[in-house]
Amino acid sequence: MDADPEVPAPPMSRAGPGVVSLFAGMVMAPLAWALQMLIGYGLAAHACYPTDIALSAPLWPHLRAIVGTVSVLLWILLAVGFFIAWRNWQSTRAHAADWAEYSVQSGAGRSRFMATCGLWVSALFAIVQLFTSMGILWIPGCGA
- How do residues 29-46 score in pLDDT, each as one tens digit? 999 999 999 998 888 888
Q: Is the pTM of this model over 0.85?
A: no
pLDDT digits (tens, 9 = 90+) for 1-20: 566 566 555 455 556 788 99
The pLDDT of residue 36 is 93
Alpha helices per DSSP H over the chain: 19-35, 42-48, 63-91, 103-106, 108-138
Average pLDDT, the chain: 82
Confidence of residue 83 (pLDDT cuts 50, 70, 90): very high
Q: Band the pLDDT of 61: cuts 50, 70, 90.
A: confident
What is the biggest distance separating any 2 CA atoms in the chain, rounded to whole angstroms? 84
86: exposed, middle or buried (C-beta count within 10 Å: 0-12, 13-18, 19+)?
A: middle
**Percent of the chain whose predicted confidence (pLDDT) is above 70:** 78
The residue length of the chain stands at 144
Q: Give how far Cα 1 sits from Cα of 4, 58, Å.
A: 9, 81
Q: What is the pLDDT of residue 74?
A: 96
The burial class, CB within 10 Å (0-12 / 13-18 / 19+), for 113 is: middle
CA distances from 30 to 35, 36, 61, 84, 88 (A): 9, 10, 30, 14, 17
73 pLDDT more than 60: yes
* CA atoms of 136 and 70, how far apart (whole Å): 11
Given a cut of 80, is residue 99 above it in pLDDT? no
Strand, coil or helix: what is 47?
Answer: helix
More confident residue, 109 or 107: 109
- The residue-averaged pLDDT of 64-80 equals 94
Of 116, 114, 127, whose CA–CA distance to 75 is shortest? 127
Whether residue 144 has pLDDT greater than 60: no
Helix 63-91 with 108-138: angle, nearest 10 deg: 160
pLDDT of residue 119 exceeding 70, the answer is yes
